[in-house]
Structure 1
Amino acid sequence: MLMSKTVFEKLQFADVQLAWSLIGNEVLRRFTDENVTAVPCFQTSACPCGPGYVILSKFRSFKRWFMRKPPYRMFTECLWDYSPSPSDGSDTAPAIPIHTLCDRPAATFRFIVSRSQKNETKTIRIVFQGKRVTELDLQKENLLNMKLSTMLFDDAGFDGLELHLVNKVFSIDRGRIEVWVDNDVDVVNIRDHSPLGFRMYKLWLCETEAGERYIDLVGDVKSKSFRALWLNRENYSQIIRNFIPNQSKYGGEAGDFR
């Protein structure tokens, strides 16, 4: 397949991360037959992605908004980790069930684009093994009126009243991405059932006079129009740990209580 002129010009050197940011959404459209948002990187510690994970957005300054620059966004933890901790410790933070829609461990997907121009050749080769699709096993209406603790994130510059919730994830068993710019090459091997892309809901929260926050509205998000400058979650690990009520048990499980 012929590489587009735009990708050719922007791919100045062999860099898998850069190449994925340029063509990831197109690759996933062919891989999934849907419009899907590509994960920003393949390091789960930097951007853990799974059904139920919450994406926080930083407040944009007027200048950034006026220049139409996308918000900074960050994967945090699962929605149930935001449930207010019961004062007596008697209840458990409820986990949202996850349903597997597709599991094809033998599936193989290949994608190759290349272009030569002015004695320079650039090529991107992608191979994915396996295909797994998981999603939240609940209707989005069931999220309405759920109480969430997000107020502390306001002090850290995040918008605690507008969240995104991952509801569907596309993963592979393993894969390989090669980027060639003439004789220079960059390679990433993808392992361990890694997520590649996701669909999401947008959550709007309201605040009561008592200061409690709850989900007031849930909407679908069009992947084509979703824009983000992704933050490395590892750089905000202490904020996440301290600001989410159920994070003394840290690592994405359903709350502190058993």
Structure 2
Amino acid sequence: MTSQRFAGRTALVTGGGSGLGRAIALAFAAEGAAVAVAGRTPATLAETAAMIRAAGGTAEAIATDTTDAVRTTALVADTVGRLGALDVAVNNAGILRGGRPFADQNPDDWRALLETNVLGTVLAMQAQISHMRAHGGGAIVNVSSNIGAHTRLPGLAGYAASKAAVSALTRAAALDHIRDGVRINAVSPGASDTAMSLRPGEGPTERAARMKEQSPLGRVSSTAEVAAAVLYLASADAASVVGTDLVVDGGASA
């Protein structure tokens, strides 16, 4: 029988239309949470919500842009209005740009990475914390990356800087708000079974062969494995875990 750690709770997942975000949203729903899935693409959000409902769960799809402070505040209000509460938030929305050496990465890529990965996380957390501290507390999990604070790869300076910022922001915000009843942590995945981990021209078979050689574990992480780490940090099982950055990367940054 599936655990029901989140029965009667409401979870908000940004970037919930595909990849890790979808896996995380489905995992919360499977453990009893009502889930708001948010992001920029209404069609994929609707697909995630439909998958949750088809499995007997409760879900709402909410289109938003986390780089807009007004819309992040509205996202929290919409989640509470539709589902009655906000107990858990997972800030998963993010982008990957790269492929050029540091000196050659163009300003547009830097702006996009910093706006989506850093500013988007800041604005989302501010809106979520403001609500949670006024309504009995809650848990926030930010999805960072092993590329950043934990390891670096050539051609990904901008992405690494943006995700290192997410890891640092998580720890700083955790210290500021744990006494408000808001518990904040991060998960830093490595390569996982999503399109983001595929190199140009590469398919899953080629990626599997590459990871067999490159990863200490010998494979990418499944999306379910990353989701399990997120759910642990959001659950009462992690009640005394504050400001941690849990790396799930098969040993790549060890």
Name the TM-score, length of structure 1 as normaliser: 0.25
Name the TM-score, length of structure 2 as normaliser: 0.25
Name the one with the larger helix percent. 2
Name the one with the larger strand percent. 1
Higher relative contact order (CA 8 A, sep 6+): 1
Larger radius of gyration: 1
